[in-house]
Chains A and B, each alone.
Chain A
């Protein structure tokens, strides 16, 4: 799944939603891209996405991969950030029976998983409806 080194490479992505911004046309992309999907330019730089957005739709996942079993069931949402970019993220601080699509949500950092008691703790983005 993930290892400490691939996690280390990704920390700006996971902690601050750093994606890509096209230097030529200004389009923003998350997840990051190698070639701008709007204008085709290869001149892209790192750029932090807005930390707020809204919940487009969601699912309650009951059968996750092994690493996430201890947290099941949990909510996975399709979140649309304020700049229109969308991503998949867990939704927290809300009960599985009362989560509403359309709710405004914001970034919060939580534990995603860890390599057992001895290993690395992996933190990453989740979204919450709480202020």
Chain B
């Protein structure tokens, strides 16, 4: 079994890309990654994406990308796990290299959301949950999260105001980042004044609808040695699936998939959570940010909002979180996010994070969820000694 290394990353700025198609986005990110290491010719192409079929009438993205990059005869396919598609793509690439079936894998996560009007994007995102028992009764993905948000506030007696710390942190970090969507810091008042989407979730509690693409070149041990590209290694890539919909779970606030995948990843690597120098977590909504931290054991139950307010998770804090803004600040082009996260971890660990650099970062963890903790992908990356 081979080790797996991240050798380069290409990130398109997350935002509104009216003049770029889904192909334009994924090709741009991929070429950025590939051109950083021209001697590494991909022998596999994996695209992570959630709903290109619905948004662009285009499936089969792996083959489309490979064809346009002139990678003929190479294994190429799309993987999908809702908003965890990016994590799934990285995971799939990881497995192929570990199994010594590939030496150079191009992983690209892409999503084009802005071509669709709001009602359609809402419906598309809710494909992450049950068509028959969530979508059809009139539910949306945000509303499921709103239910858990309401249950959480009630269970721990937390005020709505305390949850605003998460988006504030996200924007603060995003303002420093070149590839983030949002460049302005926001205040808790901004969050609390923003319109309600699904009570208690407000517009600014939610990651934005946006376009984006990120790509990575993953290398085998052999290839990384050959190309002197052993700086950043993926130590673990673990996945776990939870009961599909939140209403099927005995405890709707328990992120079982997050916990299970994280436990496996730590066991595999022999590492402890407090050895992480930073974490990129799935803060699609303020509530997912809070519950993720508590399910990982980073915060005590009900204490995540308080911990944010102490500065514990700031870039200069004890455990920097979402160092480039996370899903809220950097953006959440859903199928691409998991790849953005690993790319950002790569930038941190190879000291290319510029204004967002966590000093001395050696080990980092990424956490990407498909659905509401329905499929969770955990990656642990380490800088080479």
Task: Report A's interface with B, CB cutoff 8 A.
Answer: 1-2, 6, 10, 13, 31, 37, 56-69, 71, 74, 76, 78, 86-90, 101, 112-113, 122, 124-126
Contact = CB atoms under 8 A, between A and B. Distances in A.
Given A59-B198, A59-B201, 9 more contacts: A31-B248, A37-B243, A60-B198, A63-B197, A76-B139, A78-B252, A86-B248, A88-B137, A101-B154
A90 B199 CA distance: 14
A74 B149 CA distance: 18
Interface of B: 118-120, 122-123, 126, 130-140, 142-144, 146-147, 149-151, 154, 195-201, 243, 245, 247-248, 252
Given A2-B131, A63-B118, A65-B119, A90 B198 contact: no
Given A31-B248, A86-B247, A61 B154 contact: no
Nearest to B121: A65
A68 B138 contact: yes
A116 B143 CA distance: 25
A61 B123 contact: no
A125 B122 CA distance: 21
19 contacts: A1-B136, A2-B131, A10-B132, A31-B133, A31-B245, A56-B151, A59-B199, A61-B140, A63-B119, A63-B122, A63-B198, A64-B122, A65-B119, A65-B140, A88-B134, A88-B137, A88-B139, A112-B136, A113-B138
B257 to A, nearest CB: 16
Contact of A62 (B120, B133, B138, B196): B196
A1 B198 contact: no
A112 B135 CA distance: 11
The 3 tightest CB contacts between A and B, nearest first, are: A66-B119, A65-B123, A59-B146
A88 B144 contact: yes
Given A31-B130, A59-B199, A60-B199, A65 B135 contact: yes
Contact of B132 (A31, A37, A71, A90): A31
Contacts of A37: 243
Nearest to A72: B138
A44 B371 CA distance: 27
B151 to A, nearest CB: 5
Nearest to B129: A88
A90 B130 CA distance: 15
Contacts of A60: 196, 198-199
Given A63-B198, A74-B138, A57 B132 contact: no
A88 B198 contact: no
Contacts of A31: 130, 132-133, 245, 248
B101 to A, nearest CB: 32
B119 A64 contact: yes
Contacts of B130: 31
Contacts of A65: 119-120, 122-123, 126, 135, 140
Contacts of A86: 247-248
B113 to A, nearest CB: 14
A13 B138 contact: no
A88 B247 contact: yes
Contact of B138 (A78, A101, A112): A112
Contacts of A68: 138
B156 to A, nearest CB: 14
A90 B119 CA distance: 18
B119 A78 contact: no
